[in-house]
Amino acid sequence: MVLDENGFQRLFAAAEGALRPILLLAFDTGMRKEELVALRWEQVDLDASTIELANEDTKTDEPRIVVLTMRAKEALRALPSRFKKHFVFVNPKTKTRWVDIKKRFRRAVKAADLDGLWFHDLRRSFITRARRVGVPESMVMRMSGHRTRTRGSSDPEGFVRVLLPRLAG
């Protein structure tokens, strides 16, 4: 299932507070669930509006730079733990990184009446939305961490920064 902005807003509104920034980053960046729940503050550069994923942080074992939308950047900035050096998304009950967000996600899906939605669909939605606003397929593949057959743009961050505002609106 691919969500448009309205569908995402329904999911976001139905989600518990601690889950909302995770959902937003998944929808606006195409990051994988494990990349998000394992995200550490040292990987985040709010001044540059980027997240740096090292090869050990990604499913494909290939490093990549994730460019943040303005609202993703603001969501990160609003997190209470932003001055700490450990995980970005912390389970409010355990005070440690999230291990599993499945139950909270399923509750939000049910409350938003989005039966059949999986967390991975947020990634699919990012990819679909990026293609719809004109981002070339090879660039979308690089942005989302898919292996590509072509190298794409030699300036992926610059290209992405031009087109990213279209995704958030």
d(CA 108, CA 40): 25
Query: How is residue 101 annotated by DSSP?
Result: -
How confident is the model at residue 153, as a pLDDT?
43
Task: Please name each of the domains of the chain with its CATH number.
Answer: 5-167 (1.10.443.10)
- Helix (H), strand (E) counts: the chain: 8, 3
pLDDT in tens, 28-87: 999 999 999 999 999 999 999 999 998 888 787 788 889 899 999 999 999 976 566 689
Task: Name the pTM for this structure.
Answer: 0.83
Residues 101, 86, 9, 157, CA torsion sign: negative
d(CA 27, CA 29): 6
How confident is the model at residue 63, as a pLDDT?
85
